[in-house]
């Protein structure tokens, strides 16, 4: 009769310690991840997602050191250093999700660009033709986003420059095959990864920066 409450108390104390450890790892990991973006660390990496992966690792290591120290101090509560690793893995997973859903989306989304243009003129009406004109004049023209995409895919190894444009590499073709599997598995628009050839696009294997259209 005396041992049962004591055992229950130990379990409750262990659960409380685990909750505090994981909450602390999540808060420290996320806060550190955001703060690292405010530094100059890896700013030479022009692809946001790749820089984010490096900062993810840095935030993970910082969080691991801190939580491992806390776990060592919490041995009387039943904590072990391996618990810190599990908490940091959870923090890393959350930060990876945040990276993909938030900054990468804001940085690359055409929808976000369109909403930004409409927010600048909240009292005006936009139809598809006006949106298309803005997209071509600003997103593709002033912001030169097509050139940016081609440069990024070249840096990623999916494209290779030629004398008159770019050609897709074996790695790029493998990625498109993988993207097709993902599109079919999640029932997204497969036209984006499996375009239907037309008389204008069927012969096109190279892309030129002159007009951002197939040759």
Domain residue limits at 119:
109-143
DSSP assignment of the chain: --HHHHHHHHHHHHHHHHHHHHHHHHHHHHHHHHHHHTS-TTTT---HHHHHHHHHHHHHHHHHHHHHHHHHHTGGGT--HHHHHHHHHHHHHHHHHHHHHTHHHHHH-HHHHHHHHHHTSTTS---HHHHHHHIIIIIIIIS-HHHHHHHHHHHHTSEEEETTEEEE-HHHHHHHHHHHHHHHHHT--GGGTSPPP-TTTTT---B-TTTSSB-
* pLDDT on residue 205: 44
One domain, residues 184 and 102: no
Is residue 1 in a domain? no
- Which pLDDT value is given to residue 2? 45
| Residue 69 sits in the same domain as residue 117 | no
Mean pLDDT by 10 residues, the chain (215 residues): 63 88 95 97 94 97 92 75 92 97 95 97 97 97 96 97 97 96 94 73 46 42
- pLDDT at site 17: 87
- Give the pLDDT score at 39: 96
Q: Does residue 33 sit in the same domain as residue 51?
A: yes
């Amino acid at each position: 009769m005396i041992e049962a409450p004591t055992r229950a108390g130990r379990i409750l104390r262990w659960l409380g310690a685990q909750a505090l450890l994981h909450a602390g790892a999540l808060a420290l990991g996320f806060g550190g991840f955001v703060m690292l973006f405010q530094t100059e660390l890896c700013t030479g990496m022009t692809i946001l997602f790749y820089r984010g992966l490096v900062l993810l690792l840095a935030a993970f290591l910082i969080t691991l050191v801190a939580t491992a120290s806390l776990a060592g101090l919490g041995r009387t509560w039943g904590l072990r250093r391996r618990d810190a690793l599990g908490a940091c893995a959870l923090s890393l997973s959350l930060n990876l999700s945040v990276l993909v859903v938030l900054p990468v989306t804001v940085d690359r989304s055409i929808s976000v660009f369109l909403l930004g243009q409409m927010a600048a003129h909240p009292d005006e009406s936009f139809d598809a033709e006006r949106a298309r004109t803005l997209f071509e004049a600003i997103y593709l023209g002033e912001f030169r986003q097509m050139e940016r995409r081609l440069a990024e895919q070249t840096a990623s190894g999916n494209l290779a420059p030629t004398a008159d444009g770019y050609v897709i590499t074996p790695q790029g073709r493998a990625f498109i095959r993988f993207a097709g599997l993902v599109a079919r598995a999640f029932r997204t628009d497969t036209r984006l990864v499996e375009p239907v050839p037309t008389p204008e696009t069927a012969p096109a294997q190279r892309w030129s920066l002159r007009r951002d259209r197939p040759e």
